[in-house]
Each structure stands twice: as structure tokens, then as C-alpha cells.
Structure 1
């Protein structure tokens, strides 16, 4: 545990300006230093550094802190990493929590030395006679001397024991532990040999800039195209990001963070002057990597290749992120032109071409919607039910319940709008075959009321359509609409298509729909004369009689905004359940006719109905 005395000693031994100077151009101003603030864009310096008092302060944005805070805020280092870096520079030993932790820290420090020496040796080979092919490759890719130095690019000659001999002072065991040598476990008499041979070497660094692994790209033909370091004490692929050491401070300055697929994509965007870029280390984005991204930016931009693999990687990242989303944690997406990667884009149009795409990223909610809509045709009830179920499942995966509900409402609004649009252009049904989903749902037309749908196919499905919403639920809905009249016109189409089994509830619903149709805006004030009508008041009184089931939107203690949202969700759930039921009836009819695919569709639709019932139960309370 770090004591206040240790932290005070660390601050006292640290010259703050020397910590900040490598990242900010400081100018002496009396006993202080001044600079343009690294935490916000400004032209007139308002950022001051006071070595005597050991703090910095910006009079523009209010940023304030000590050396530890600067490393955590500007470079994105975890607290302990910042402390260790400052302690090392000040020749202080960080107290270890226990002997085991102390031993582990010493071991890792030794391995870091090994990796640093390996990176230096690869750099020497790149610059020497053996590196001619590697230098030619970089020149062909437009990677100049400045980029080679910034990224520490090196070369591993195609020799079995080149690195092993160069670093023999460290011993084979440490080189194997770092993943630099391969030991043949089944043949202990065989000597270990170099893992990386004949490859362009790209060091992978942690947030403190220490080399923890390598990515090796083959220069000629052969597989694999990229060879990464294995998992080691230092290198955990799923918990690290390539280029994080430079991208973290750059993202704070640029106020954005870009995620690309690979090392060369990062280097390619760097050629265009864009440094706030990271990449996973040859893996799909993991939950731990997402957490790292969100520490740097609340909405990282995923900029994957414009091919099927890139699109698949983007959707995989989106679905993996869903359970972790929050009000300040999301993703956005940029779709590159077909067949292009970021390097191609830079070559074709430079930074302007890249910025044109990055300037209008697609939010996660839109990217998943587009993916699901484009995933398959939407011409049958089953296909539409499948789309709706996939969207509902995505929303349900979000752990933040408030955000989950907002996603669900957004997608359901789009789903019903898509149905309305398709209904306007749908062809007439073929005789003897079921009509399109839109035709079965009917239409709500201002001035004409509700145009009823064609009956669903099959006797069982017709029975479902005829039975309507059960009396208890129907009465609760009608009473809820009287409290939230603004929802009546908004959900008019769905309400008109939902028959209420209770006659009184159906009559009240029809009166409310008729009022909404003829009123420019139906609110509580406009509703008062309607509810005061003797017939309507009698219907409402019947609605409010106890039924044993109370929905959240009819409870007096429920917040009005939440009550409205819950009522809207229940209406849409009931409409969804009715459509799934109709599709189930259709599937059963197909099964009778011998369709071999029908049983699988029936099972999926039955599960969807069970899930809809479960979600409806979330809004009701037995009394």
C-alpha cells in the first residue's frame, strides 16, 4: 500500500517541468513555466507549471494536478504505472504489497530490459546490410525515416540463431519467457531458435512506452503474413492495444480516438498526420480492450477495412460492446470504400480523404440497425419477426436498463416506420398465398380511420387475431391511455390493430382514437371534455375497477415520464407478440402442407412469444 509519506517524497523528488516538457513546449515565465494547455486547444498560453509547489494549472479549462495526475490524464497511464515511472526516475523503490508481488515486479523489470535490447537489435539490423529488403518495403509503403524512428521499426534477419546469439548474455530462459525464442518441448536436447526470422519487426509498447511484444510482418511470400509475440508475463494480447503509448496523449489533444485493424493501418494514418490511432494485436476487440478505449475516449471511432472481414469485425465489436454500454460509453463506426484499408485511403486522397469520413461517423445504434436490416430479405412474416427479435435481443443485451429501453424504443420506432414505408409500395398478394406483413397489419389513415387488415392465414392464427388482448390487459391499457393521451396518436396504428377482448375497453379505445384523429394535439386539457362525457366517464370507471393485475404505468407513485415510456413499451410489445403469433399460425399452416423448414420456424417463433411474455411481465405487478 502506498502511504501519503511515500507519495509526498515522490512529488518532492520529481521536477514537474521535466515530466511535462517532453509533451508540451514550455517557456520560462519568472519562477514558473507557461505553455498552451495540453488538455484543450488554445492559441494564447494559459497553462502554468510551478516546480516549487509541484503543481500545474490551466486558467482556461481549469486542469490542475501534480506529476502523477499529468501522467494519468495526459498519457492515460494507470495510477500505479505513473507512480512506478516517476519512482524509477527519482531512484525511489515503490513499496510492494507482499514479497510475492515484489518478486514478480523484479522479474518483469528484468524482462523489460530483455525486450528493450531485442528492439534495439532489430533496429540495428534494419539499418544494416541485412535490412535492405526491409528498407525497400518501407519505402514502397511510403513509410519514411521519421515514421521508422517513431514506431521503432526493425528487422529480424532470416537466421535461426541471430537474436539468440546477440542477446546470449540474458540466457535462453529469459528469451524464451519473453517469447523471442522457441523451445521444442518434446525434444529437450534441441537448442531453442529465434521465433522471428525474415520479418519486418514492429514493437508493441505498453502505456509507459516499454516494449512488451512484437508484431512481425513477412516481407516475401509465406504464411502467416503477421506473426505476433505469444502470451507472456509482459504481453497479454487481449489486454493491450498497439500504439497506446502515443495515441493516449494524442487523443486528448484531438478529442477523438480511432481504432483500426492492424499495425500498418496505424502507421498509414500516422503518415497523414493522425496519431490518435490504436489497433488490437491481431485479435478481435475484447472487453478489456474496450475498457482501455473508453478510458481515453467515450466514443471511439472504429475504422475497419472496407471488405466483408472488416464489416464482420465491426459488428463483432458492436455486439461485444453492448453489455458494457453506458451514458458515456459507446462506439461509432466509419465504413471505408469497398476493398480499401486506411493506408489505401491515405494514398488516394491524403488526410482530407480520411477526415471526410471521420467527420461523420455512424453511431452504434445506426450501425447495428443497418446490419440487421441488410442481413436478409424482409418479405415474409417470419423474416420480419426475425428482424424484430434480433433487434430486441440486442437491446436486451445492454446491462444499463435505462439505455437498453432507449435502444429498444429507437429500434422499434424504426421497425414500424419501415413497415409503414413498405406497406405503401407492397404489391398485391398472390391469390392463395399469404399477403405481405404490411397488408396484414392494416393501416391508420387520417380522415378514414383504421383500414382493417386481411385475416391472418390458418385457423389457429385467425383465432389468435380474433381473441384480441385479454380483458385485464385491455382495461389497463385503456386506463393508461387516458393518463397519457399524447401517446394515442403516436401509437394510433398499433392501437387500432390491437383488438381489445373487453368490450368496454375497446369502446374507450375507439373514442380516444377518434378524438386523437380529429384533434391537432391531444393532451390532458384537450382530453378533459371527452373524459367528462357521461358515456366516456362510465367506460373509464369500468377500466379502473380492480383486476388483480396492475401495470407500472397505472400506479400513482410511478414517475410520469417512466409511466409514459412503460406504456409505450407495453403497446409495442403487444403488437410484436401479435405479429409473431400471426407468423406462428402461418408456419403451422406450412407444416401441415409439408414444408420441411416450418418446424424450425415454429420453434423459433414459440420461443419469441415466450420471451415477449417474459418482458411483458416485467411491467406488471400482481396485487
Structure 2
């Protein structure tokens, strides 16, 4: 439905934005000035400690200066409660006492039809509930009790039973004056094409009503009670009320808890969702037996920025995750992604809750893999890398997948991170191939054998240069953001210079620089340096392990990395190291000017010397100040209790590092 701007303006005029937002936030007393319609709070859309979320009642706008979220009355409801725009308008119109215009006749007829079908589905739900409590519902009740569902849960989720009869529901609805064609359209009856009488779609099944965002019953899911019955689960067909590719089971209950918790859990079956909800995990929804659709992905992002998808850890669960990836990738956007939790083989969420309780389930969810890692494992686990053509094929598969991402910033992050991950993989595979450690030329490798350390010549700022090389590989986003500065660096060690030139070339032309060729072109000194910066050389016992490379040598040079400091701190240190190298470049420039002045000093050279001297003095002061600030921050990070320091954005989650 389209709404006239005058209607929307009237609603905004009658309701203050601060009143609507104030239900979700606590205003900061120091910065807020109610008399001026000026309100400040910590942002409800992201975690922060100082208020950067601003509401302007005079302009009817809000904006967060931290994450960039902005909008008006209606946008706030759609983003915090997952309402559609028409639903937000309808709710606020009721609060404001503004009458909504009657829909056009055609829309009114469609809505009346949908309302009639919803009423019929509600009748069917009540019938199934009555049968569940009646004598012939004994088998369904016994099954529900064996699954551990409490009476309050059975009532809340409106468990029912469809009698094992050809027309029990049909006869009941007929007594309520429901026409047969309406029962068929609601998906409750099946009408054979051969002219035979219609019959109940659901027979001998435990029944779970499927409700829309308003809580209306629009469809049903039925679980067979016959051990040999097929299909095991049966959902209503597509109807004017029910669209499987859009809906999520339990969405109307989970929406608010998901927003409050800042997280959402997605499971495959509605009984799993009910079991988790009964255990207190109320921010849970379920898909309805179909592969993820773009509509469901976008809908889930209304619940949380990174929903956790829980699949069984068997081959079927992994296959389902892989199918979901292909639907998610095209709609990835800055700040939004998914995580994947693969449960122990043979267990579903209900089993896990029964055996290990909520704590066991939460432990599994905490170990969820990022979307990036699942994509990587999917492609690399089956890859054969024993020839240049097969390496190129793997790279192309990644390129083709990344090409489906529409958001240019997220696409860039994936291109960058996957190129560096592939370079590490190809380097390790080539090194193990030379040492005879490769298993069949595939994507799985033996534990890396110790290699010689890269040469350590006595050159100025050797350690700083190697840190810049290592951090550029471990955090390629830093290299990408500061590529112009990094590519202009002058290293005192030629090996470092060649290494830096190689990784800068990779970043500057991501789409046209094949990784396999780049790695193959590394000579032995560069291979040794790559081995050190990616942690494939001699690994210390206390080096922190990670899923895709320990970076142990880098952690030895920069021990604070072992504490997992915030990424902004690491980037500040990286920029400081760049400043130090640039400062050395200025010193060399001044030395050259002074040497030239010994033989010939004119006004122009004197002015250049003066300018370089002043610039050098300023940069030295800045470096000293930066070093002191970093030292103070490092001291606080080391002193922080375990787990208190904010975790850095994962290098394996490119979509979470953009914006």
C-alpha cells in the first residue's frame, strides 16, 4: 500500500520521535536538551560506551555518528522491531489517532480474502488443538511428552493433532459454514484432478501452527506419528497467505528477544526451535524446509547483524550450509553476515539441549564459524593443487563466487582476504611439495616442517620493516587502506623491499593478479620471508594457534598480538611503524642534502635543507607522542582481565570490516 506524504507528516507531527526512540534507549542527561528537542543516547543499533546517537525532534530525524544509522519514526520501527513499512505506519497511525485511508477496492478485496483464509486457518488450529486433548490424540500427546515439551510450551505453540481420517477436518469446517473451495485454497484439503472427492491434507500427524508476523495462523507443519510414514514432515502448500520462501517459523515471538540480545539463532526444524525456546533461548527461528532465499536472508538481518545458523554436523547439514552460502553471497552488505554452527554428528539442537543443557548449546554456538571460513573450507577441502591449472581452477571458483556479491566494499574485502589466504595456501603447498609432505596434491596438508629463517642482515630498522611486512599479510585491510603510503616506502633491506613490492602489486590489481603465478615466482629468500611472516617456520610452544596459520614469528616480534588486542590498536601501531620508516627516509634525504651542500650550497638547496629539517623535527615529535600513547594503551591491554579486552574484527570475516 502506498501512503500519501501528508498522512505520514501528520503521524510524525502527532508523535514525537524522542518518545518512540525513548522506549528503547536511556537519554544521556549531560548532552540532552529536551527544551530544544535535542536528545543523545548510546546507539541501539551497535555497542558503544559513549552516546553518539542523536535524535532531533524538530527535524523528526535520528542519526548515529558512530555506525551511521539514520531515519525517522517509521524507519526506527522497521529496523528495531522488524516490521514492514506498512505495519510501522499502521501501528504509529493507531497510536497517533490518525485514520488510515481505505485501500483501493482491488486491494481491499485481496485483504478481505486473506483475512477470510486466516480465519479458516484459525478454525483449523482450534480443531487440531481439541483433537490433541481428546482421546484419539493420545499418540500425539505421548510423542510430545517424550520430546520433553512442557504443558506451557504445548499451549504457547498450540500443539494439535490431525486425526488419521480422510475428512475429519473437512467435516468440522463444513459445520462452521466454510465452503469447500476455501478449505482447498487455504491448503487444508487436497482436491484430486480426477474428480474424486477432496480429502484432508494432514492425517495422523502432530500439528504445529505456522504464524505470520502478526501472530495469525497462516499454515501448518505436520510431523508424522507413523514410524514408517512419509514424508516425515509435511508443510502447507503455497497459498495467498503462506509463502515458504519469505516466512520464518516463530518470527513473531523471536523478533523482540533477538533485538534485545543482539543475536539470532536459525535452526532447520520447528520442533528444534520450540525446544530451544522452551529452554530459554527465545531468539530462535526456523526455516520451513526450503533452502535459504534472499527474502529470508534480508529478514534475518532485521533480527541481528550476524545470525547463527545451526545445522547438524553430518553431510546433510554441511550440504545445507553450502546451499545457503550461495543464496547469502549476492546480498551480503557492509556490517551484515552469517555464522555457521555445525553440531556434533548425529545430534540436532533438541538432542543437544536434552543431553548438555543450554550451556552445552551455547558452547557450540560460541564456536560457530564465520561465513568466510565456511566458504574457504567448502572450496579448499575438495581442491587438488598439484598442477598450476588446478590452482588456477580453485582461484577461479573463488573469483566467480565473489563476483556475485553486489556490495562493492564487501566484494573488495573478500577479494583482498581470499587473495592473501590463497597465497599462503599455495606457498605452503609448494613448500611441502618440495619437502615431500603433500598428501595427494589436495587441499589438506601435513603439519608444516620447520624451515630456515629468513636472513637477518644488520640493516637500519630491520625489525620494524619486517613487522610492516608481517602485519601487511596478517591484516591485508591495513595494506589496502594505506596502499599509497606503503607502496612508497623505502626499505633499507632489499629483501623487504621486494617482498613489499610483491604484496602491494597483489593488492593494487586484485582482479588481474593470479596468486598461483605470484607464489610460483618467489625465489628462495622471498619464500623464507613468506614462511616467517605467515608463521610456517619454526613455531614456538607458546605461539597462539589459529585456524588458518599461527603467525607465530610475527607474534614473537609483536608479543602483544598474543593477547588479541583491538584491531584499531593494531592499526595504530601499524601506522606508527610506517611513520618510523618514513622518518628514516626523511633522515636519509637530509643527509643527502647536507652532503651535496659540502660541495655546492645555494639558496634553493638551503631552503630544501630548512624545510626537511623542520619536517623532520615535527615528525620526530609526532612519532614520540604516538609511541607514548601506544605504550600506554598496550599497558592497559596487558593489565585487562582475560576476556575483558574487546576482540578484534576477525580477518576471516571481510563483510564485518567494511563501512
* TM > 0.5 fold call: yes
* In structure 1, C-alpha distance between the alignment counterparts of 2:274 and 2:376, rounded to whole Å: 32
Does 1:404 pair with 2:414? no
* In structure 1, C-alpha distance between the alignment counterparts of 2:156 and 2:179, rounded to whole Å: 29
Secondary structure at 1:365's aligned position in 2? helix
RMSD: 4.7
Q: CA deviation at 1:40?
A: 9.8
Deviations 1:247-269 (A, max 9, x none): 11110122101111111221121
* In structure 2, C-alpha distance between the alignment counterparts of 1:225 and 1:89, rounded to whole Å: 45
Does 1:119 pair with 2:125? yes
Does 1:313 pair with 2:320? yes
* In structure 1, C-alpha distance between the alignment counterparts of 2:336 and 2:46, rounded to whole Å: 23
* In structure 2, C-alpha distance between the alignment counterparts of 1:202 and 1:212, rounded to whole Å: 11
Equivalent residues of 1:10, 1:86 under 8 A apart: yes
Secondary structure at 2:301's aligned position in 1? helix
- Structure 1: tracts of 5 or more residues without a match: 24-36, 43-54, 450-478, 497-508, 534-623
- Give runs of aligned pairs for residues 24-43 of structure 1, distance below 5 A: none
Secondary structure at 2:137's aligned position in 1? helix
* In structure 2, C-alpha distance between the alignment counterparts of 1:487 and 1:249, rounded to whole Å: 54
Specify the alignment match of 1:369 in structure 2: 376
Alpha carbons of structure 1 residues 84 and 117: separation in structure 2 relative to 1, 3 Å: farther
Secondary structure at 2:310's aligned position in 1? strand
Does 1:327 pair with 2:337? no
Q: CA deviation at 1:204?
A: 0.9
TM-score by length of 2: 0.59
Moved more, 67-76 or 122-131: 67-76
Equivalent residues of 1:39, 1:252 under 8 A apart: no
Secondary structure at 1:170's aligned position in 2? coil
Does 1:181 pair with 2:189? yes
* In structure 1, C-alpha distance between the alignment counterparts of 2:43 and 2:184, rounded to whole Å: 41
Specify the alignment match of 1:393 in structure 2: 400
Alpha carbons of structure 1 residues 400 and 82: separation in structure 2 relative to 1, 3 Å: closer
Equivalent residues of 1:115, 1:211 under 8 A apart: yes
Equivalent residues of 1:429, 1:436 under 8 A apart: no
Alpha carbons of structure 1 residues 136 and 407: separation in structure 2 relative to 1, 3 Å: same
Alpha carbons of structure 1 residues 306 and 194: separation in structure 2 relative to 1, 3 Å: same
Deviations 1:164-212 (A, max 9, x none): 111111111111110001111231xx32111110011111111111111
Secondary structure at 1:184's aligned position in 2? coil
- Structure 2: tracts of 5 or more residues without a match: 25-41, 48-59, 446-450, 458-483, 491-495, 507-521, 531-556, 558-576, 593-659
Alpha carbons of structure 1 residues 3 and 252: separation in structure 2 relative to 1, 3 Å: same
Equivalent residues of 2:188, 2:202 under 8 A apart: yes
Secondary structure at 1:239's aligned position in 2? coil
Residue in structure 2 matching 1:241, options 226, 240, 248: 248
Equivalent residues of 2:117, 2:186 under 8 A apart: yes
Equivalent residues of 1:72, 1:78 under 8 A apart: yes
Alpha carbons of structure 1 residues 493 and 194: separation in structure 2 relative to 1, 3 Å: closer
Equivalent residues of 1:326, 1:400 under 8 A apart: yes
Deviations 1:83-106 (A, max 9, x none): 556889999974344221111111
Specify the alignment match of 2:420 in structure 1: 413
TM-score by length of 1: 0.62
Specify the alignment match of 2:139 in structure 1: 133
* In structure 1, C-alpha distance between the alignment counterparts of 2:284 and 2:184, rounded to whole Å: 31
Deviations 1:534-583 (A, max 9, x none): xxxxxxxxxxxxxxxxxxxxxxxxxxxxxxxxxxxxxxxxxxxxxxxxxx
Deviations 1:248-307 (A, max 9, x none): 111012210111111122112123210111111110010111111112211111111111
Moved more, 192-201 or 63-72: 63-72
Specify the alignment match of 1:461 in structure 2: none
- Give runs of aligned pairs for residues 274-353 of structure 1, distance below 5 A: 274-353=281-360
Q: CA deviation at 1:39?
A: 6.8
* In structure 1, C-alpha distance between the alignment counterparts of 2:504 and 2:436, rounded to whole Å: 22
Specify the alignment match of 1:602 in structure 2: none
Q: CA deviation at 1:228?
A: 0.7
Specify the alignment match of 1:613 in structure 2: none
Q: CA deviation at 1:156?
A: 0.4
Specify the alignment match of 1:426 in structure 2: 433
Equivalent residues of 1:41, 1:253 under 8 A apart: no
Indicate the structure whose relative CO is greater, using CA pairs within 8 Å and at least 6 residues apart.
Answer: 2
